[in-house]
Amino acid sequence: MAIDRTFQFGEDHLTASVALGLAQGTITGVFSEACLKNVNASYERVQRIVEKGDTVYGINTGFGPLCNTKISKQDTKILQSNILQSHSVGVGDPISNELAKIMLILKIHALAKGFSGIAETTLQRMLWHLENDAIPVVPSQGSVGASGDLAPLSHLFLPLIGLGKVEYRGKTISTQELFKQTGLKPLDLGPKEGLALINGTQFIAAHGVMVVHKLQHCLRHADIIGAMMLEGLQGSMKPFFEELHQLRPFKGNQHVAGRIRTLLQGSEILEDHIDCERVQDPYSLRCMPQVHGASRNAWLHLKELLEIELNSVTDNPVIINDELTISGGNFHGQPLAMALDYAALAASEIGNISDRRIYLALEGNSPGVPKLLMNDTGINSGYMILQYTTAALASENKSLCFPASADSIPTSLGQEDHVSMGSISGRKALNIIENVEKILAIELLTSAQAFEYRKPLKSGILLDEIHTFLRTKVAFAENDRVFADDIEKGIEIIQNREIIDLVESVMKEKELTWDAPHLDEFETY
């Protein structure tokens, strides 16, 4: 895989797309001399604190409710190893290898800023794991999202001291086996290092990276597929006129309306019914800019907050300089927890309105489009039951929309008496998005079926190209068949972002541009 560029940990500006590039190997991460100088200076500050005997939380005290328990100089190193072991209490299925890798990337970047007292040798070992694709196994459950993601981060860094498991060369093996294969030895963590490793929001933030990435693609798909459904059902173009959205200038609304205008440009189908007697369309067609746009705005909000988090120091205590060490609350996950709950709702609504459009397509109320999207019904059920699946998925998403950040259960004997539950916010958001991908796949199939009945009229070049491409994967349905097979192909198209890539390719070839404002904000992350 070709390397696009290098990224300087601790110095360069990290974004969701850069984090993904680092995880996928298209960007390589390095430490500059200036970065390592700052890291070593912070490490030396911690050593001086230990030598002087000043009482500083987490360096020579216990943790949580044990913060008033003084630890002797000779026991400070044992304390750091013990904390990784005692806090490794995660349960449930492991998170994906990609998510664990992103966690590692985010933690390296935060520690490399030089405010955490980490040793250069520890930081270099973390980079070794990334570069050699030896990614620790991290359970999905156990974090309450304050004092950092303690349990998942503890599992992430158990391999540093020779414990835990890693995914390496396609297999899950013990760290001891990894050491046998590579010749590595366990690290001897210094004062504060264990605490620096496990305090932070990297589990929540890694989920945030994936939510920003996957939700943006759902939003792009929703506009494209919604435009195809609009054509199939002969909906009106007027609700997407720029003049309307200048009167209520939400960025997301304007952007979505512009995208749909571009997708429908040059459509013969629109021209064919321009003087029809229908006054207005149902909301699921007419209000796409408002509904898709609101979800776009939520996505933008998460992207902006996430970018701040990715470039922040979120462990505790923070070593500011020789005179100032602060035990604060930068590890608290609330800023991302609330935004992830908002994004989960935004994703769910994309699935909800998509399901409504599918139902609308089945009613047979649009001239030329048969009920259940099939001419010979009775003996055939047509596309009726596909909507049962989208109804089930949309309903499941609604049940997942309860905001995890609205809950707090005190932990640590009351020392940590308000927690964010942001880890649950992130996990739920990704679950919802995966369901939305399935709903959109089914709308892609049904919109293409409705679109077929408009032939020989043509749509705009973009939608015609998408329809032609889809027919190479899924045939027009004249009779019932095992539609689960079609759905699986549709899901694959959505997850592989094939129609998004096709649209971009055609636009480049035809020298087309989006008639959509705020492109930079919504198309980059």
CB atoms within 10 A of CB 331: 22
Provide the residue type at 13 as one letter: H
- What residues does 171 pair with on adjacent strands? 168
Domains, the chain, ranges and CATH?
6-199 (1.10.275.10), 208-408+418-523 (1.20.200.10)
Of 233, 213, 282, 253, nearest in space to 437 by CA: 213
CA distance 139 to 75: 29
pLDDT tens, the chain, 525 aa long: 566 799 999 999 999 999 999 999 999 999 999 999 999 999 999 999 888 877 777 677 766 666 667 777 777 778 889 999 999 999 999 999 999 999 999 999 999 999 999 999 999 999 999 999 999 999 999 999 998 899 999 999 999 999 999 999 999 999 999 999 999 999 999 999 999 999 999 999 999 999 999 999 999 999 999 999 999 999 999 999 999 999 999 999 999 999 999 999 999 999 887 766 676 999 999 999 999 999 999 999 999 999 999 999 999 999 999 889 999 999 999 999 999 999 999 999 999 999 999 999 999 999 999 999 999 999 999 999 999 999 999 999 999 999 999 999 999 888 888 999 999 999 999 999 999 999 999 999 999 999 999 999 999 999 999 999 999 999 999 999 999 999 999 999 999 999 999 999 999 999 999 999 999 999 999
| Contact call for residues 446 and 386 (beta carbons, < 8 A) | yes
Query: What's the CA gap between 282 and 280, in Å, rounded?
Result: 7
Question: Looking at this protein, which amino acid is placed at residue 110?
Answer: A
Query: Strand, helix or coil at 171?
Result: strand
Judge whether 342 counts as a catalytic residue: no
Give the integer Cα–Cα distance in Å for 125 and 116. Answer: 16
Of 431, 233, 425, nearest to 351 by C-alpha is: 431
Give the Å distances, CA to CA, from 410 to 108, 333, 387, 413, 440. 29, 14, 42, 7, 39
Find where tokens 């835990």 sit: 164
**Best CA proximity match to 60, nearest among 150, 195, 158, 180:** 195
Alpha helices in 158-282 (DSSP H): 175-182, 193-198, 202-232, 242-246, 251-263, 268-272
Residue with tokens 């969701």: 16
The number of CA neighbours under 13 Å toward the Cβ of 181 is 12
Catalytic residue of the set 57, 168, 342, 453: 57
**pLDDT tens per residue, range 229-279:** 999 999 999 999 999 999 999 999 999 999 999 999 999 999 887 766 676
- The token duo for 454 is 């408009």
How far, in Å, CA of 180 to CA of 504, rounded? 48
**Cβ 298 vs Cβ 345: under 8 Å:** yes
Tokens 């010749």 locate to 183
Q: Kindly provide the b/e burial profile for residues 93-131, where b requires at least 16 CB atoms within 10 angstroms of the residue's own CB.
A: ebbbbebbbbbbbbbbbbbbbbbbbbbeebbebbbebbe
